[in-house]
Chain A
Amino acid sequence: MSLSRFLIKRSLQGLFVIWGVITVVFGLRFISPGDPANVLLPPDVDPEVRAQVIAELGLNEPLYVQYWQFVSGIPFGDLGLSLVTRTPVAARVVAKLPATLELAIAATVVAVVIAIPLGVLSATRRHQPADYGATVFSLVGISTPNFWLGVMLILVLAVQLNLFPTSQRPIGLDGIAMLLVGGEAGAAIRGFVTWLWHITLPAITLGTYFTALITRLTRSGMLDQLGQTYVRASRAKGLPETLVRYKHALRNTLIPVITVIGLQLGTLIGGAVITEAVFAWPGLGTLIINSINARDWPVLQGSLIVVAVGFVLVNILVDALYAYVNPQVAYD
């Protein structure tokens, strides 16, 4: 199979999964107890008004019509209307997206910048204090619930030492970009400092599990690679040890590590939801939790679709990158 055929096949599979995701999310409404009209109306409302609202929401249409109405709008970015605010769901989700993406990216940066050097250090200094330190760190890191870590960081660094704010996101990267476009460089720099100051604790909270996980993966991958014959051959050939380690072994270690980072993106978004709850970070997670508490099903459904479709797309991208770096997979 050629690379392009592999990518086409992978994209078609992705499309099928996206369709499945949308259908599952549509089905959520039918396992929820109670009528969506109850969200909008007091229980003792006039039956006539009630019927009118149900008709307006399209809830008296046959199932296949409702399904079609739900599905057909999605490719055009129509995710329906919020039951509570009566505004388009898509706009609300899009408004919350930057905050969550910023958090996820900041956490990934924290994780990659710390974990890969740490994993390499651990593998090349096996059975030395640095290795034990890194191993203990990664064990504790993957075993710590991130919301508790967030609470602890707030407790120590924000409440006791007053180094960081406890919550909120006064400005986002989108706002900073707007300032830059408007030519207000000074305000943009101040905005960036504020942003950095506010995102530090949430990024550590969300990033620690991944740091620990990637440290583990890098360490075991690196140990595995350093035992391979090509490494011995390069050493025998007289290549400097730094070149053998950091060019050849590390590069081969990173390929599976990148795949895992892609696969773990779902966990990252799941982690972002709870991190947002800890830090009152106004992103998708907060939107999801608020929509459940308000029983605003269309907002919940829309957010779930955006999250799941994003996950599928990123995974196709990771697979494509993987196939590009390592064409062998396309031939399996």
Chain B
Amino acid sequence: MISERTRRNLRRELRRSLLAKLGIVVVILMVAMAVFAPFISPYSPSQQSLDNSRQPPLGFSTKETKEVTKMEDGSVVIEDGQVVTETQTVYTNATAAHPLGTDGNGRDILSRIIYGARTSILVGLFGTSLAALIGVLVGLSAGFYRGRVDDLLMRSADIMLAFPSLVLAIALVGVWGQAQAPIPDPFVATGLAPAFRSAVGLPTGMPETVVLPGTVIVVVALVNWVWFARVARGEALSIREEEYVKAAKALGASDGRTMLRHVLPNAITPILVLATIQVAAIILLESALSFLGFSGADVSWGFDIALGRQYQSTAWWISTMPGLAIVVTVIGLNLVGDWLRDALDPGIEGEGGV
């Protein structure tokens, strides 16, 4: 499906571009973090420890002043029948146990970011795949059959495009609710992760399931398939005029076979480039839905940013850290997208952001 020439272009562009290398490294690291979360996460993302709440990240400390009862020689000081209070300054230092600090419930922020990567990447990958599946089917048929089918499909695409994606996504999730499917975490179920963790001395008790946010995946796909339809249609329109497509038809290949065996493989490059950009756009969309509390996810970068808002005057890192995770991931994906686009030059649109 990917020709020798394409591969050569990709390699050449990769050698030339430092940013492309950086992007690939970031994306691989994020995916690895998500996949191997039960091995590398210092704690369970939901493990609370109220004594350790709002610990600052490494390199920072916090100063809080609070009113306490004044004590002298171990007894309460009373003047004029009143208990005397004094202001005390309490310093909290960062500890290596929580390198990125802890949240309002004392949960480890690094662990939550590692597990949050799973939500983002699951929605990014499944959402993009589903969007691509719908969009490519619609777009290929529209471009291949042209005429009435084309008009009908492309006008419905126009209708979809008239709704801002985030607004439509909010409306659909709001209307449908937030179905989620817990699937057993293979590393925990097989005992691999617990065995590894006790061997290296990490606390055990990792979550046994990975939550697959079903509704969110369907909704982001329904909102974003149009971009794939547009690109696939454009490709199909030009490919259908090629000799090999006419030859296949003349030999009696069915429409479905012609589309899947001859048109699709030749349209795959721009679709792959678009898919890379769309994973980034869908990760941003998921984080926005979670931030607004519409995704139902309880371990998600967007959701944690929202949780941190109530501590904005006392613990800035709770909102800051998960946001940095989003920015780094999306930059990585955009760099990979730029690399593919520069190397393959399909000249497509379809960026999206929140």
Contact = CB atoms under 8 A, between A and B. Distances in A.
Contacts of A17: 155, 158-159, 162
Interface stretch (B61-69, B108-116, B308-316): B308-316
A152 B156 contact: no
Contacts of B156: 20
B351 interface: yes
Contacts of A32: 175-176
Contact of B288 (A154, A159, A274): A274
Interface in A292-311: 292-293, 297, 300, 304, 307-309, 311
Contacts of A197: none
A139 interface: yes
Interface stretch (A110-118, A142-150, A168-176, A320-328): A142-150
A248 B268 CA distance: 38
Nearest to B159: A20
Given A151-B305, A269-B167, A21 B162 contact: yes
The interface residues of chain B, by DSSP majority, are classed as: helix
Given A143-B327, A148-B326, A292-B174, A304 B288 contact: no
Given A20-B156, A145-B323, A288 B171 contact: yes
B163 A308 contact: yes
A150 B170 CA distance: 19
Contacts of A159: 312-313
A24 interface: yes
The size bracket of the interface on B is 35 or more
B117 interface: no
Contact of B155 (A20, A268, A269, A311): A20
Interface string A188-232: 000000000000000000000100010000000000000000000
Interface string A9-31: 00001001110110010001001
A312 interface: yes
- Of the candidates B156, B280, B335, B354, the one having the most CB atoms from chain A within 10 angstroms of its own CB is B354
Contacts of B291: 145, 147-148, 274, 277
B117 to A, nearest CB: 15
Given A31-B176, A274-B292, A311-B162, A145 B167 contact: no
A143 B331 contact: yes
B270 interface: no
B352 A267 contact: yes
A256 B171 CA distance: 31
Contacts of A16: 155
B89 interface: no
A51 interface: no
Interface of B: 155-156, 158-159, 161-168, 170-171, 174-177, 280, 284, 287-288, 291-292, 294, 302, 305, 308-309, 312-313, 316, 319-320, 323, 326-327, 330-331, 334-335, 351-354
Given A21-B159, A142-B353, A270-B166, 9 more contacts: A17-B162, A20-B162, A140-B331, A143-B327, A143-B334, A146-B354, A151-B319, A266-B164, A289-B292
10 contacts: A21-B163, A32-B176, A33-B176, A139-B331, A143-B330, A145-B330, A147-B302, A148-B305, A269-B164, A277-B292
